[in-house]
Copies of this chain bind each other. A is one copy, B any other.
Amino acid sequence: MSPTITLDPSRIERDLMSLARHGAYGETGVWRTVYSPEWVAAQDQIAEWAAEAGLAVWRDAVGSVWGRLAGTGAGKSIVTGSHIDSQAPGGRYDGALGVVAALTAVRTLHEQFGQPRRTLEIVSLCEEESSRFPSASFWGSRAITGVIEDGETESVIAYSGESIGQAMRDVGLDPARISDARRDDIEHFIELHVEQGPILEGLDIPVGIVNAITGLRHYVVELTGRSDHAGARPMDTRRDPMEAASHIIAGAVGYARALGRPAVTTVGRMLVEPNLPAAVPDRVTFTIDSRSPIPEQHVDLQRHHEDLIRRVAAERDIDVDWRITADHQPCISDPDLVTLLERSAASQCIRALTMHSGAGHDTQRMALECKVAMIFVRSIGGRSHTPAEYSTIEDISEGIRLLTATLHELAYSRA
């Protein structure tokens, strides 16, 4: 097994805080959307650090920053990294921690063990959060895996109206060259990320090993009835979309609750028209977010929710329409990589829980092309997508130690 890895927590903390100055928002927040000046400055910072660590640095066709430590032997690359674009606003850790972790791990290995047998690479990806371009999530990892379609550079539009192609040109990237970002020479991708949930905190464990990323389906459900005076229209002749929505929400959320972990269903957004206290609504539009990392359960949740929507609408004479706005299958981590992570944690005396990810990550896109797994670092209070997100430097160091030891095993110890 790998030698015991030791890191400098103060250096990690300094790098995190330094990176967070680009797009700093309030006391602890970051507002750093892809291709913005602050995002460009942060990518420049990553490139500078990677070069200082002795890596060969380049940017790919969509602006992701890469750093390579060439191996002495042949074989595909072992890659680690995450994204530095943030929610608007987000915190200092979501994404950025995985990039600092990648730099720290590869730098440490290079300093302490010299040139690896297998090529090691770090990557700082772009537009994971969809916080500037709502339909562009996983832009960087989709470019690497070659699944961006012709025309998307003009059809993917920012909240503020410009196309992603225009935003690329504005920072000196050529949208016509996106296919150049395609890679087919990556064997492993390991992403370190904050957990964004309360599981590790609840069990008092600093680090998670992700054996699956949840499947996810987003629905937008539109129920149309008929607005009427709240006093003058008897109940028995109403077509009330709010009453119908309440039955669908109670039923869908209640079903996931009854199934228990890991199934989750959330209704987080609702719009009511005309939204008046003394009028039955004309229309109620709401989202359903349904997730499970277990493929059969993921399908079961969808079947239940869709049957429920149809049944409630039919029973109550409500017109129903729904769209699926996001649809991801569960992503199962490479079992050998999970086992290696578990063994590395044991050998480094790192307490780690094997668990699933309830959030989506670039890793699920990279899984189209290579073997993947993730490392989670405990989130205080389970907070996520807020300037209040926080992880301790002690937990962060444990997570990066696990990453470093695992990369050592893959790149130095194995043939």
Residues of A within 8 A of B (CB): 195-199, 202, 214, 216, 218, 220, 228-237, 240, 242-243, 245-247, 249-250, 253-254, 256-257, 260-270, 272, 275-281, 287, 289, 291, 325, 357-360, 379, 382, 384-385
Contact = CB atoms under 8 A, between A and B. Distances in A.
A385 B229 contact: yes
Contact of A196 (B202, B229, B242): B229
Contact of A233 (B231, B253, B264): B264
Nearest to A281: B268
Contacts of A257: 235-236, 243
A389 to B, nearest CB: 10
A50 to B, nearest CB: 30
A261 B360 CA distance: 49
Contacts of A230: 264, 266, 268, 289, 291, 358
Nearest to A274: B268
A358 B232 contact: yes
Nearest to A379: B232
Given A233-B358, A243-B257, 18 more contacts: A198-B232, A198-B233, A199-B232, A229-B382, A230-B289, A230-B358, A235-B253, A235-B257, A236-B257, A236-B261, A242-B266, A246-B249, A247-B250, A266-B280, A268-B281, A270-B272, A270-B275, A277-B287
Contacts of A291: 230-231
A61 to B, nearest CB: 29
B242 A267 contact: yes
Nearest to A275: B269
